[in-house]
Amino acid sequence: MTQPSTATAAGTGSRAFVYLVSIVAATAELLFGYDIAVINGALIFLKQQLDLSEVQTEFAASSLLIGCVFGAVIAGWLSDRLGRRRILMVCAGLFAVSSIGAALPRNLTEFVVARFMGGVAVGAASVLAPLYIAEISPARIRGRLVALNQMAIVTGILLAYLANWLLSFLGPSSWRWMFATATVPSVVFLAALFFVPESPRWLTEWGRSPEALNILTRVNGSAVATRELEQIKEAIAEETGTLRELLQPGLRRALFIAVSLAILQQITGINTVLFYGSIIFKERVGNHTESAAIGANVIIGLVNFLATIVALWVIDKLGRRPLLMFSAGAMAVCQVVLGAAFLIQPPPALLVLVIMLACTASFAVGLGPGVWVLLSEIFPTRIRGRAMSIATISLWVACVALTMTFLSLSSAITVTGAFWLYGLMCVVTFLIVKFVTPETKGKSLEEIERLWRHRD
């Protein structure tokens, strides 16, 4: 690691350095967004070329998500021992290998193995990228930089939809190119990681305080860096919480809220649009060409991107609960109307698209970023890492369950029944937020912990 310049050491640190490092880390989340969304367009051609049944199609779509569960489980444990940066490098390698492997399979098994490997990278990145950014960012801009993480995800989703549409004109084998395109940014991400530092918090935990101080000086300047290092040491000393503590009065309500909202964020049905949107337009709504069906999802991705920008702008002004309740309520209405639209045969394509856009915007402005923000705030420092792991794993398991059942559920109870069921889950979400979830905006961690003790 190069030594900081005299100007930087004596001043307030290099904001350019912090932004550069954060952008590199957030690239993991851009690849995350790309990998989970690219299946949307590729699935139409993949299903045709490999002659997949509905159950096999669900398995193909879910294989990445199964890997996500595994990646989320091992990410914290591995990064605590080997370092945040090293495990992010492993993720970058897995992203690249998975992209190539998913582009070259001869059968479903080979495809599933490749996507599972990518899923491990996605699951680990979903834990480590925001963790790394939070640990290296100065307090004054930490919220903004962690928010960069969410923007990277929706940007990756939008890029995947756009790439899918442009490549779809190549014909039935275009799905191979859709997966292969992620190889280049994966390699660039891996190369960039060689030029960013390790997390100062991890270095401090492993007795490498001089190295940590060097990095903190580049970030904050020497005077602030010294205080920051002492605060890190104090925080590490306080992290003595155990999993059993989460079940004790004062925190079990927080655990219930965290796990419930993590699961409900997924089973409100948003991923039926993000993963199966092209198949819905191709097979369930009229007789559209593959390119037209995939093109509709570009619009959905753009709305998702723009609504996330709105969310990041208003969440600290309006609070968590109002946004979450609005989001869940609006999604409930959208899912009910979307289900009703499929009672018309054939369903009006424009109506279905408009409702999907409204549903996507409703999710992106509230439940999308809002649940993650709330999860990061409701637990005290000493137990937050373990609690967040439980919530994140619960979220990915719910995502797998939704993705592996949508087509089968639609066949069993009709598309209308499936969307109405998701609408019911939106209502449950609204009720949990309204009657159980407290507002955390503007409260310190100590105030939030006292709030749990008074309520339990």
CATH number at residue 349: 1.20.1250.20
Angle formed at CA 109 by CA 391 and CA 74, multiple of 5 degrees:
25
Both tokens of 358, joined, read: 């409204």
- 170 and 254 assigned to the same domain: no
The CB density around residue 140, as the number of other CB atoms within 10 Å, is 11
161 and 103 fall within a common domain: yes
Same domain as 356, residue 271: yes
Structural domain contains residue 220: no
Segments forming the whole domain that contains residue 302: 245-456
Query: Would residue 231 count as lying in a domain?
Result: no
The answer to whether residue 215 is domain-embedded is no
C-alpha dihedral sign at 332, 337, 343, 346: negative
Determine, yes or no, domain membership for 165. yes
Length of the chain: 456
Instruction: For residues 305 and 150, give the distance between their C-alpha atoms in angstroms, rounded to a whole number.
Output: 10
Together in a domain, 150 and 290: no
Question: How many domains is the chain partitioned into structurally?
Answer: 2
- 97 plus 20 within the same structural domain: yes
pLDDT value at position 284?
A: 80
Low-confidence ranges of the chain (pLDDT < 70): 1-13, 139-144, 146-147, 238-243, 249-250, 286-287, 381-382, 385, 442-456
256 and 192 share one domain: no
For residue 178, what are the CA distances in angstroms to 63, 249, 373?
17, 50, 32
- Give the model's pLDDT for residue 11: 54
d(CA 136, CA 132): 6
pLDDT averaged over every residue in the chain: 85
Report the candidate in 387, 367, 368, 362 with the shortest Cα–Cα distance to residue 377.
387
pLDDT at 143: 61
Q: Among residues 158, 173, 196, which one ends one of the domains? A: 196
Contact of 364 with 303, CB cutoff 8 Å: yes
- How many beta carbons lie within 10 A of that of residue 174, not counting itself? 20
Per-residue pLDDT, 240: 59
- Cα gap 415→340, rounded to integer Å: 9
* Residue 211 covered by a domain: no
CB atoms within 10 A of CB 244: 7
- Claim to verify: residue 185 and residue 253 sit in the same structural domain: no
Q: Torsions phi, psi of 31, nearest 5? A: -65, -35
What tokens does 48 get?
A: 């045709």
Give yes or no: residues 284 and 177 share one domain.
Answer: no
Q: Both tokens of residue 371?
A: 């649940």
Residue with tokens 């408009």: 354
| 78 in any annotated domain | yes
Name, in order, each residue with C-beta under 8 angstroms of 244's C-beta and a sequence gap of 6 or more: none
Q: Is 331 part of a structural domain of the chain?
A: yes
Two structure tokens written together for 194: 């060689």
Same domain, 90 and 186: yes
**Measured torsion, CA atoms of residues 197, 390, 456, 319, in degrees rounded to the nearest 10:** 60
CA–CA separation, 200 and 137 (whole Å): 10
Q: Is residue 376 part of a domain?
A: yes
Strand ranges for 286-364 from DSSP E: none
Question: How far, CA to CA in Å, does 58 sit from each of 40, 272, 276, 373, 402?
Answer: 12, 11, 9, 30, 10
Statement to judge: residues 266 and 382 lie in one domain: yes
Last residue of one domain, picked from the residues 196, 224, 256: 196
- The encoded tokens of residue 409 equal 């559920």
Query: 255 and 191, same structural domain?
Result: no
Q: What CA–CA distance (Å, rounded) separates 296 from 277? A: 8
pTM for this predicted structure: 0.84
Give the pLDDT confidence score for residue 361 in this predicted structure. Answer: 95
Calculate the CA 53 to chain-centre distance.
Answer: 28
Which of residues 155, 181, 196 is at a domain's end? 196
What contacts 354, CB < 8 A, 6 or more positions away? none
Alpha helices in 347-380 (DSSP H): 349-362, 368-377
Distance between CA atoms of residues 367 and 265, nearest Å: 6
Task: Answer yes or no: do 174 and 257 share one domain.
Answer: no
